[in-house]
Structures are given as C-alpha cells and as structure tokens.
Amino acid sequence: MTRLQRSRALRWLCTLATLAALVVVMFPVYAVVVGSFESTETLFSGTYYWLPHAATLDNFRTVIQAQSGNVLTSLVVGLGTAALALIVAVPAAYALSKYRLRVTVVIVSSLLICQIVPSIVLATSLFIIFHWVHLVNTYPGLIIADGTYAIPFAILVLRAFLFSLPNEVLQASRVDGASEWQTFHRIVVPLARSAVITVAVFAFLNGWGDFIFALTVLNGTTIVPITLGIYTYLGNYSTQWGAVMAAAAFAMVPAAVMLVVAQRYIATGLTAGSVVG
Amino acid sequence: MQLHGAGGPRLSGSRRHELAGLLFLSPAIIYILFAFLLPIVYNVMLSFEQTSPATISSLTAPFAGLANYRFILNDPTSRTAIVHTFEFTAGSLVGQFIIGFALALLFTLRFPGRTLGRSLIIVPWLLPLIVTGVIFKFLFQLEGGAVNQLLMDVGLVHQPIDWLDDPHLALLTVLIANIWLGVPFFTLLLYSALQDVPMEVKEAALMDGAGPWQRLRLVIVPIILPVIEVTFLLGFVFTVKVFDLVIALTGGGPANATQLITTWSYNLSFEQFTFGEGAALNNVLLVLAMICSPLYLFLSRGSLRRSSEGGR
C-alpha cells in the first residue's frame, strides 16, 4: 500500500469506528421512539423488532391522558430550578470573581465540596426538615432540593466566565456614577449572557430529570413529575412497556430540543463543569 | 440597594465595596447553609437517634448512641451494599476511562464524521437518569430484549441470557448501563485536554521517531495527566452517588445483587422508616465520597486562589 492509500484507509476506519460508537449511543434513543409506537402485542411478543412493526398511537393516547399534568409539573419544576439557580448563582458568581472578599476561598471550597455530597444524604435529612417547615409535597420544597444539583455548578461555571470580563468595563460603569447594583444588572448580566444561558439550560435539565428528590420529598399523590410517572409504570411483575416508552419519549424531548437549539451552550457547560485552574 | 453615590466604591472605601460583595453573595450563603450544611449536620444527628415512623414529625428522637452504626456493621445487606459500591465504582471508572479516552483520541484525528460524532456523543449525558434506567431495562429483557435478540441473531448464544434477574449478572448489567452513561463525560473532558496539547510537542515526538503508542504514553499522557486525574476524581464522585439508574433497572435486586449504598440507604429510610439506620449508612457514603475532597481542592487550587486582579 502506498502512503496515500494507507492514510485514506485509516480515515475510513476512523469514520467506521465513530459510526459504531454512535450506533451504541443512539440505539437506546431509537428504541424508545420506535417502542413508543408499538402495540402491546408487539412489545410482549417475546421477539424484538429492529424496525417499526404495526405502528399505533395507543401508547401516546394512554400517556397523554394519564401524564399531561405530570409533564406540566416537570416543566414548572425545571423552570423553577433554573430561576432559583440564576437568582442565587449570578450575583454570587459576580461577588466571587470581581470583589476582593475574605470569604471567597471558604465559599468556593464549600461549593466544590457541595458538588461531592450524594443526593441521598441530602434527601433523607431534607425530607424530615421539610416536614418541620411544611415544605414536603410542595413545589418550592422540590425546587430547593433540585437546586442542590444546579447551584454549585452554576456558581463555579459563571465565576470562571466572569474572570474573563475585563475589570475596566466595570470601572468605567462606576466612574459614570452607576451603583453596584446597576453595574451588575446593566453591565455584567448582559455581558455574561452566554454563560447565564448555559447554566439555566443545565439547571432546567436537572429539575426536569430529577427523580431522587421527587421520590423522597413528594408523597407521590398531588405533585407528580414525569420521572415519577414513568417509575409508577414499572411494576414488580409486569411493566406497561407501551406506556413506559411513550412517557420516556416525552421525558426525552427537552434533551432533544436543547441538543438542537443550545448545542454550543451544552458543550461549553459540560467542559466548564470541571473548572480546574 | 442603597449603595450608589458619587465617586463609586473605590473612593468611598473598601468597606462599602466589601459590603456590596457580601450582599451579592448572601443568597448563595443562605442557600448553602439551608440546603447543604443543615441537612449534613442533621444527618449526623439522625444517625445517633432511635427513630421510628412516629418521630418523623417531631424532628428529634431519643439518643441511641452507636446503635445505628452497630446495625450497619452487622447488617449483611449493608455490608454487601458497601462491597457492591466499590466494585461498581471501580468497574465503571475503568470502563468509562478506556472507552472515553479511545473516543477522545479518535476525535482528535481528521476524518469525515468527527463533528457529528462529537456532538452526538453527549446524548446519554442529557437524558433523565430514570429514562436511561427504563430503556436499559427494556433492552436487557429476558424475552424480547434487543440485546438477547442481537446475541441470538448473530449466533453468539442459543438461550437468552437473564441479564437482570440472574444474581450473578445483574450487577454487570447495571455496570454496562452506567458505563454507557458516563463515557460522554470522559470523552468530552479528555478531548478538550487533548486539544490543548501543543502541535509542536506532537511533531517533535514524531521527529524523534516515536511510534503512536510511545507518543501517547511518553508525551501526551504526561501532559494531560492533571485532567485525567480530575476526570477520574469527578467520575468517582458521580459513580458513588448513582441511584436512579439502579432503582429503575433492578430496584437493588434480585436478592440484593445490585444493592448499592445509595439504594439500600433509601430502602432503610423510606421503605422501612428506620431513618437513623439510613442516616448512619449515609454517613458511610459521605465519608467515602469525601475521601477525594482534599485532592479535589488541591487540584482546584488555581481557581481558589484566583483574585479579581486575574483576568485571562
């Protein structure tokens, strides 16, 4: 083989390897979409059909009837988590990057450690604490709990971004007579827009996809996010696969939308999530 | 906020500057105290209490000494769960690193499809964990599962494998699902580190006549070692926390074969309502997760020390 042929063969091999990886990555998603259109008979036939087989909308009818409210609940929880994360994280990140404070090292260390704390540890205590302050089975309670995924991450990512903002811009604003608050919300927030969107997207996905807090700080009757809705379809002995697949398809929608609309924010967020300087 | 005035903070002193900073920081401080510090401290208190369903609404329960910890040490399921957590974490990290690093290296090469590959590889990371759990439960079913169908279609096995209900296989199945879930994280982090390796370094190694393997081992790996360390560290932290995936896939069964610390702690607290025992097991998990925190803080020291003078 000549050198040219060899490098061409190598390139095709790389493409082939990537395709193989993508099949493994995407197949589960494909299986949910196809499965959500399959009839109960097909799903329980004991044979797996690689291609759509006797498509039906029955599963979607069942799920829309039973879970529409739950999808809405998840939407509220996702948006609430994003809002809470922004309210807490944007000013905090600004203070931790642009102010000389004695507490900075302590707070940043605490945030790094907060990211390590397992959710089950928080869930057990929060359940009893929430009982005490009447937050069990409420939206604010669930959103506060879901914030534990989003907030430390949001502050650290925003802080890393704000370091790149030139101090001169802030000084110019102050010289113009703007207050600290005006400088923050008229100058800093607009300039940090892309980082703010990134953390909002991630906080939304955290709230939307949360299961462990929904399972523990809700009692499962009045407020039911879609994740909990899917879980209730998983029986001990028989699973309603058609409904599970259709509900799972619904639960994947935000991820799909984000992947198309906010691809560049997601890639930034994933790498920035492990800010190490 | 009554902080504005002529001259700005520089002229009116560092006091006001600091006060403004603390005000911006205050929501975060309150949140950390309420949502992290309070639950962690309360969890320690709970682990020394004799709890019962009746004590849940009263916030405190009678002191129990070390009874809950004694229970955890002697309870066979708790011990199994701890062992499983170690096996599961080690297996996940090794699998995720090997596949993730291979893909990261692949994506640094130039070939048709690399951009598509790089953008779609993150899909597993974006799905709700419970969805991943149910999908794998569907795919690994004994009858009508895609995995068994594939293995039988290509003739690798003649009988379907009981991936989820065979106690010897269930943990492996959960492990496979978790590796699938975690590879994008490893790929993305290692890929961005590889991007930062200067071209001259790679070329110099090539001039010296180093083969691809030598170049990787002697040149590239040492350069990106700090990122590899952080990736492993974060991967460890993510993996000891895994809960949703296991609950959806196996619920900790069959016969506790996939019971992890997280799932068993949930069971103790929320199914048997022995919150004290659950809290004691939580503390074992917390200590395990925290083992890494000094190293994490050390690796993040640059970010910690950075002051407002910094800039990029």
Quick one: closest CA in B to A160, which residue?
Answer: B303
The minimal CB distance from A274 to the residues B189, B289, B310 is found for B189
A270 contacts in chain B (CB < 8 Å): 122, 125, 184-185, 188-189
In a domain, A246, yes or no: yes
CB contact under 8 A, A160 and B303: yes
Q: Out of A8-12, A162-166, B59-63, B205-209, which region has the weakest mean confidence (pLDDT)? A: B205-209
CB contact under 8 A, A100 and B307: yes
CB contact under 8 A, B27 and A175: no
B122 contacts in chain A (CB < 8 Å): 259, 266-267, 270
A80 pLDDT higher than 60: yes
Q: Report the predicted TM-score, pTM, of the whole model to 2 decimal places.
A: 0.88
Quick one: closest CA in A to B123, which residue?
Answer: A25
Q: What is the mean pLDDT of chain A?
A: 88
In a domain, B2, yes or no: no
Tell me the CATH number at A264: 1.10.3720.10
CB contact under 8 A, A120 and B134: no
CB contact under 8 A, B282 and A121: yes
In a domain, B58, yes or no: no
CB contact under 8 A, B129 and A209: yes
In a domain, B123, yes or no: yes
* Per-residue pLDDT tens listing for chain B (312 residues): 444 444 444 445 678 888 999 999 999 999 999 999 999 999 999 999 888 777 777 777 788 888 899 999 999 999 999 999 999 999 999 999 999 999 999 998 888 888 888 888 888 888 999 999 999 999 998 888 889 999 988 888 888 899 999 999 999 999 999 999 999 989 988 998 888 888 777 777 667 777 778 888 888 888 888 889 888 988 998 899 999 999 999 988 899 999 999 999 999 999 999 999 999 999 999 999 988 888 888 887 777 766 444 332
Q: Which positions 73-132 of B are in contact with A (Cβ < 8 Å)?
A: 103, 106-107, 109-114, 116-117, 119-132
| Domains of chain A: total | 1
**Structure confidence by residue, pLDDT tens digits, A90-141:** 999 999 998 888 899 999 999 989 989 999 999 999 999 998 899 999 999 9
A113 contacts in chain B (CB < 8 Å): 290, 293, 296-297
Q: Cα B129 to chain center, whole Å?
A: 12
| Structural domain range at position B197 | 76-303
**Residues A231, A252 contacting (CB under 8 angstroms):** no
Distance between CA atoms of residues A183 and A7, nearest Å: 55
pLDDT, residue B81, reads 95
Which residues have C-beta within 8 Å of that of residue A37, sequence separation ≥ 6? A52, A55, A56, A57, A59
Q: Which tokens belong to B177? A: 């699902």
| Domains of chain B: total | 1
Taking residue A162's Cβ as centre, other Cβ atoms within 10 Å add up to: 20
Q: State how far residue A29 is from chain B, nearest Cα, in angstroms.
A: 8
Q: Helix/strand/coil (H, E, C) string of B108-133?
A: HCCCCCHHHHHHHCCHHHHCCHHHHH
Mean pLDDT of A213-221: 88
Own/partner long-range contacts of B192-199 (Cβ < 8 Å, ≥24 apart)? B192/A271, B192/B227, B193/B104, B193/B224, B193/B227, B193/B228, B194/B104, B194/B105, B194/B108, B194/B220, B194/B224, B195/B108, B196/B224, B197/B223, B197/B224
pLDDT, residue B9, reads 44
Tell me the CATH number at B129: 1.10.3720.10
Quick one: closest CA in A to B303, which residue?
Answer: A277
CB contact under 8 A, A116 and B289: yes
Quick one: closest CA in B to A141, which residue?
Answer: B35
In a domain, A56, yes or no: no
A216 pLDDT higher than 80: yes
Q: Which tokens belong to B79? A: 């011990």
In a domain, A210, yes or no: yes
Q: Which tokens belong to B110? A: 């130039």
pLDDT, residue A249, reads 92
pLDDT, residue A276, reads 43
| Structural domain range at position A202 | 67-272
pLDDT, residue B285, reads 94
The minimal CB distance from A277 to the residues B14, B306, B308 is found for B306
pLDDT, residue B142, reads 87
In a domain, B80, yes or no: yes
In a domain, B24, yes or no: no
Main-chain phi, psi angles of B63, to 5 degrees: -65, 135
